[in-house]
Structure 1
């Protein structure tokens, strides 16, 4: 029977990082994953360039039942620490927008860096290896694997959430947490496109493929980013962001021109370009296809000079006060993350260890900590993995 100091379940961002840190402390480390390749979510993220962190990391950009839980790990291993590691590895990067950092080249560079660091630290990696059971064995643990049984002093669960099941996502981490008496916060898809009823889709579908800047809000949350019209509803960064805050039955508020006083702009067009069509006035600040569509929705055919102020106000409302209620989301199939997870009340925020189960750790997406779109979830993986790796 193989014996190690630390077994890490999951060879993703958090798991590899925790394993590297533990191995650098001289611990005998084994990483296991049922997938055939390590770091697959890293590889496909950011269009293949990996949005590996964000310059604007702050606790208020993470969702959790206890929003302050993530603070300890994020402060002790920061975005600047990971950037320094990327620089030391010779990986070129750039800032895209809103503090989002991407590799200049392939995301594979980060996977290769992590695997190289793990090997150099003496860590071992078993791929295509399923976990079939985890049990207490004295002061340590006995882990049943498809390749045999392993005994370990510590178990680090970094198995991720339920998002993107085609990549092999499972609920294993939640099962282990429940088995050892830890609480779970309800899980649901996060950073996911939203879907709408046939009535709403009737006028959205003709715009499928169109993207435009907008402000999308729900309750007190709101995001000014791109919105993408699809055949099923709405996507794009602003919609993915707000999906983390939206719950079924709630309405979204969409402003297609958040920087403008649209009524004033239309009033000016009425005075200065009275012979022009409404779509022409709208096309000054909206994509032409969207401008034409809104003109059709408004049912206004006369030139600007003949449109009453009340009608212009109605059009401005279509542009800036669009209220709609999604019927659901596209689910885990396309969700980038899983909201909810292992209850942070049962974890030590400094070490990520289960308070009632010495030697058992939970890190990354499996925990009830979910970041905004734009590198926040990778930073949580690095930070929480680092925290566990210092003590496991």
Structure 2
């Protein structure tokens, strides 16, 4: 269609003389300029800087008094430090299906223990709704009731060890690790009321307080960005600067795992293309 595509170029600045856009960039070691009546900025967010991620769109928007929603890594592994650090690290490589939840949302997915803390789909999902200092809950047996399972076992074989039940439900290494919190080598018929309550709380309401996240280098996306209120919901044109458009990850739109962020990138690009 006659477009010119310039690769391996770095935009250094954008000026707006006389209502048009003047793009300053370097290419093959030379400084060059382009002028246009319209400008589209879809330079992504901050994750994976080794792949060329840049804050250009955010800096440009901020310099022109556009509101920026606070940014942070999202869909990102979380770290555990302190007294429980070794417990999580010992389980590195083990995966458990769970329901992870906080006051905002819940997900039923697998979590993965790592040498630095937690990862896997469940953790990546909840990380988009988590802030430092907050606690979230793990239901380590979603859709089932550990108390009912134990009660059934007590009626049929009260001499069974609690670890025997857990080994039916979890990887053995995870069962062994639960010994830090629960009397797993005790016969189920001998469990006290207090111990049964502790088992139920540990399995269905396991509290996690991460120390932090693995940062933009390991994040799949960035949350926050250019406030959607600054853009037309129909065209993604900037309301304050005529003929300027923003799309993709630099805008405050963050999706779940499963291709939603790719879809937003493609959809926003399509919408802009229809309205330039």
What TM-score comes out, normalization by structure 2 length? 0.94
Q: In structure 1, list runs of 5 or more residues that go unmatched.
A: 1-120
Match of 2:266 in 1: 382
**Contact (CA 8 Å) 1:131, 1:144: kept in 2 or not?**
yes
Q: Deviations over 1:192-240 (max 9, x none)?
A: 1111222122211111111111000111311001101111111111111
Find the residue that maps to 1:354 and give its secondary structure: coil
**Contact (CA 8 Å) 1:165, 1:332: kept in 2 or not?**
yes
Distance 2:187 2:107 in 1: 34
In structure 2, relative to structure 1, the CA distance for the partners of 1:220 and 1:183 (3 Å cut) is: closer
Q: Deviations over 1:72-105 (max 9, x none)?
A: xxxxxxxxxxxxxxxxxxxxxxxxxxxxxxxxxx
**Contact (CA 8 Å) 1:209, 1:229: kept in 2 or not?**
yes
Match of 1:260 in 2: 144
Find the residue that maps to 1:264 and give its secondary structure: helix
**Contact (CA 8 Å) 1:267, 1:312: kept in 2 or not?**
no
Aligned partner (choices 206, 210, 232) of residue 326 of structure 1: 210
**Contact (CA 8 Å) 2:21, 2:35: kept in 1 or not?**
yes
In structure 2, relative to structure 1, the CA distance for the partners of 1:304 and 1:181 (3 Å cut) is: same
Residue 267 of structure 1 and its aligned partner are, at CA, apart by 1.6
The answer on 1:136 being equivalent to 2:20 is no
**Higher RCO (Cα < 8 Å, 6 or more apart):** 1
**Contact (CA 8 Å) 2:163, 2:184: kept in 1 or not?**
no
Distance 2:273 2:184 in 1: 63
The answer on 1:223 being equivalent to 2:107 is yes
Match of 2:50 in 1: 166
4+ residue stretches of structure 1 with deviation over 4 A?
A: none
Distance 2:173 2:152 in 1: 22
Residue 378 of structure 1 and its aligned partner are, at CA, apart by 0.9
Match of 1:184 in 2: 68
Residue 296 of structure 1 and its aligned partner are, at CA, apart by 4.4
Find the residue that maps to 1:338 and give its secondary structure: strand
> How many residues of Structure 1 are paired with residues of Structure 2 in the alignment?
272
Match of 2:5 in 1: 125
Match of 2:92 in 1: 208
The answer on 1:145 being equivalent to 2:29 is no
**Contact (CA 8 Å) 1:278, 1:295: kept in 2 or not?**
no
Residue 386 of structure 1 and its aligned partner are, at CA, apart by 0.8
Residue 329 of structure 1 and its aligned partner are, at CA, apart by 0.8
Aligned partner (choices 148, 151, 165) of residue 281 of structure 1: 165
* Structure 1 segment 1-392 matched on structure 2, within 5 A: 121-147=1-27, 148-392=32-276
Q: Deviations over 1:329-374 (max 9, x none)?
A: 1111101111111111111111111111111110010001111111
What TM-score comes out, normalization by structure 1 length? 0.67
Find the residue that maps to 2:16 and give its secondary structure: strand
In structure 2, relative to structure 1, the CA distance for the partners of 1:312 and 1:227 (3 Å cut) is: same
Q: In structure 2, list runs of 5 or more residues that go unmatched.
A: none
